[in-house]
Structure 1
Amino acid sequence: MFISPQISLYIHIPWCLKKCGYCDFHSYVSQSIIPEQQYIEHLLKDLEKDLSLVDYREINTIFIGGGTPSLLQSQSIEKLLNGIKKRSIVSKIAEISIEANPKKLEYKRFINYKKSGINRFSIGVQTFNSNLLRKIERTYNYKEIIDAIKASQKNNYNLNLDLMYGLPDQLLEDALSDLRYAIQYSPSHISWYQLTIEPNTPFYARKIKLPNEDIIFKMLNKGDSLLKKAGYKKYEISSYSKENYQCQHNLNYWNFGDYIGIGCGAHGKITQKNGKIIRTLKNKNMNDFLNGNYLNSINIISDKEKIFEYFMNVFRLYQPVFKKHFREKTNINEMVIEKNIEIAIKEGFLINTIDYWDTTKKGKLFLNSLLEIFLN
């Protein structure tokens, strides 16, 4: 019997005041007035078209990302969330998150965001070091970060702080200092991930130099120990949380759940009743999107793609991967990947039991090498 997977909703707000040199997300730089009311009307129409694809399943999590969603006025966020609830079934205990840039956060906006139904806040700190913030082209400083954190905590937000390590000219002590600052404010969740320079970014073109592998490895190990000692549990490669504060929206991604993606350039993944999985990509051209041309492409993913994408997500988690879960999520029997599993075990990346697979310490450390085995 087919069981429809949990469904999440991702909403893309593509505007930024400035595009950082390392960023490869789809975004627009806008110093002028953002057409937010018009955009929200089209977001809701975009949602209406996608709801039929998911048989109007209950939405369990909502994530408003970007870009810089906190550029939007609180009235716009309220209109957006009210519009979603009128058109779809949203769980009464849904996790509703918004990403925020510290420079644009104001005390009154926090209160109104909360009134509109936002119950989880994610602040893009990256580093508390004002000198390093300039090097990675962020538009705020240490004081603005602290003000943003205090304002969010004053309103009892479930708070995540995004931090990066391996920044240009960053020393080991700089990275550990960032974590100590974060821990001092006791957020419920800390995302701590390595900066990577992606192709087609200004940093890549300028050949920006990052710390060497030895320094980055020390940052990872010592930072991991520091976070765990402070009471944060590592549940995913770059995610740490206090008990019961894991990001439910991201957990749905990593468990190969379904999600609707609305907004300019957003992606979606939807499992059909026949077990096939479709991918949606929304139009990246803002003018086209605002003219009602939302869908750029819709494709059924092959079994080969399905297998690779499944493991690319679930192997990020610090938990066993149950074979029953693999069958349910992919509609593929695990015998198909028997040879791949044997290679992964031989390389020391995986442990195999009757009911589940589990990544070894080596498997987590060399995750890309493990995933390459499932490309064939």
Structure 2
Amino acid sequence: MASIPIATASAAAEPVAERLARYMRPGTLSLAALPPLSLYVHLPWCLKKCPYCDFNSHEQRGEADHSRYLDALNADLEAALPFIWGRRVHTIFIGGGTPSLFTPDSIARLIGDIRARLPLEPMCEITLEANPGTFERERFHGYRAAGVTRLSVGVQSFDDVKLAALGRVHDAAQARAAVDEARAAFETFNLDLMYALPGQSIAEFERDLQTALAFEPPHLSVYHLTLEPNTVFAKYPPALPDDDTAFEMLDRITAGSSAAGMTRYEVSAFARPGHRCEHNWNYWQFGDYLGIGAGAHSKLSFPHRVVRQARFKEPVQYMTRALAGHAIASDEEVPRDQLPFEFMLNATRLRDGFELARFSERTGLSLAALAAGLDAAERKGLIERDFARAWPTERGFDFLSDLQALFLP
């Protein structure tokens, strides 16, 4: 069953009160309580678009109007307040793009504007994505003073040849210096690493992995390079390692991180005790998130439905629309028969799986809606379960797409 559009770009000027009335009307779901709420803020500019990137990022040509963009974010947030009225924000994630193109003063203004409009949980995790280029790296201490509590550094590799192949604007020396500065400025931070890069051997990746682990990062996110549609790499695909080599690299990651005292708590995430990413944890548990900024997406729960929203993608158009009070380009209600798949798409990424009661709490559906998929997954050896929880097996983790597909409507 296709998703049900309840507004489109042609209806983007719909008054907030009317949109909220549609969200609150009676429906077939019955959510007993609303899940935790996170805030995602998208800052869309980069120095250069990477050839593998399919995110909504735009090369910054000349001086981008950061001040006007911050004004637009304020207007976007103001208009969204009725959708989340009375709810506390548990985590904030400032992503992009390259958010570290914004000065510490700009980030301080952004965080201050958010605090003035939303109640934040005590010790709210505030993550900022940053790149290792010298221009951005020298700002890390400033971001900490601005209120950022957690940095996510997009290193990707410590090999100059591989960084050039990925189109990154930093080199290996800058990557090492950035991680050193992140360690000095933040109590917790994440290091992003990619594997199965163009022409990469197991020995080359092992050097990358050991370099990363030598910095003793509290959190490590490791991603398999994939050729996404509508990217330069999709049009001009590089020679990538075969699947067996990629699996061997993943085995090295698992073994190496474990030996370094890190736990693989999610399919791509490894952390020391007390350092998991709480923002992503909320995603994976099918929590709610409000997304503001160009191209940002939201998932919001109401008593009788779960709604997804998308903002206008192009930065100039977004600013114009947001400042006029109409940042939402489209929204849709998630149909009943898609909710099991949407929930399991996230929950099966977690090593410890999920509490069975969480499914009904977050979707408003009976656990019977998962029964056929859980039975099939157990027969195939992809999950294990007891009376309280279900979790992916080692085989389920290795063949995660096959496991998730069992819950498609």
TM-score range, shorter chain: over 0.9
Decide which of 221, 238, 248 is 1:218's aligned counterpart. Answer: 248
Going from structure 1 to structure 2, the CA distance change for 1:336 and 1:153 (only over 3 Å counts) comes to: closer
Is 1:240 equivalent to 2:270 in the alignment?
yes
Q: Can you list the C-alpha shifts for 1:293-322, whole angstroms capped at 9, x where unaligned?
A: 411012111112211111000100011322
Corresponding residue for residue 21 of structure 2: none
Say if 2:54 and 2:230, in contact at 8 Å, map to a contact too.
Answer: yes
Going from structure 1 to structure 2, the CA distance change for 1:273 and 1:32 (only over 3 Å counts) comes to: same
Is 1:303 equivalent to 2:341 in the alignment?
no
Question: 2-side partners of 1:36 and 1:326: how far apart?
Answer: 41
1:209 counterpart SS class:
coil
Say if 2:70 and 2:110, in contact at 8 Å, map to a contact too.
Answer: yes
Decide which of 138, 148, 171 is 1:118's aligned counterpart. Answer: 148
In the TM superposition, what is the alpha-carbon distance from 1:327 to its structure 2 partner?
A: 0.7
Decide which of 89, 94, 106 is 1:59's aligned counterpart. Answer: 89
Is 1:135 equivalent to 2:165 in the alignment?
yes
Question: 2-side partners of 1:82 and 1:258: how far apart?
Answer: 22
2:270 counterpart SS class:
strand
Say if 1:256 and 1:313, in contact at 8 Å, map to a contact too.
Answer: yes
The 5 Å alignment of 1:1-376 reads 2-106=32-136, 109-274=139-304, 276-291=305-320, 292=322, 293-376=326-409
Question: 2-side partners of 1:54 and 1:209: how far apart?
Answer: 47
Say if 1:288 and 1:294, in contact at 8 Å, map to a contact too.
Answer: no
Q: Can you list the C-alpha shifts for 1:182-223, whole angstroms capped at 9, x where unaligned?
A: 111111111112111111111011122210111111101122
Say if 1:69 and 1:99, in contact at 8 Å, map to a contact too.
Answer: yes
Question: 2-side partners of 1:348 and 1:374: how far apart?
Answer: 15
Question: 1-side partners of 2:134 and 2:340: how far apart?
Answer: 41
Question: 2-side partners of 1:324 and 1:305: how far apart?
Answer: 18
TM-score, normalised by the number of residues in structure 1: 0.97
- Identical columns (%): 35
TM-score, normalised by the number of residues in structure 2: 0.89
State the one-letter code of the partner of 1:304: D
In the TM superposition, what is the alpha-carbon distance from 1:114 to its structure 2 partner?
A: 1.0
Gaps of 5+ in 2: 1-30
Q: Can you list the C-alpha shifts for 1:100-137, whole angstroms capped at 9, x where unaligned?
A: 01115556522221111101000000000011000111
State the one-letter code of the partner of 1:3: A
Question: 2-side partners of 1:161 and 1:357: how far apart?
Answer: 29
Say if 1:15 and 1:68, in contact at 8 Å, map to a contact too.
Answer: yes
2:290 counterpart SS class:
strand
Say if 2:38 and 2:92, in contact at 8 Å, map to a contact too.
Answer: yes
Q: Can you list the C-alpha shifts for 1:343-369, whole angstroms capped at 9, x where unaligned?
A: 212212122322222211111111111
Greater relative contact order: 1 or 2 (C-alpha under 8 angstroms, separation 6 or more)? Answer: 2
Count of aligned pairs: 375
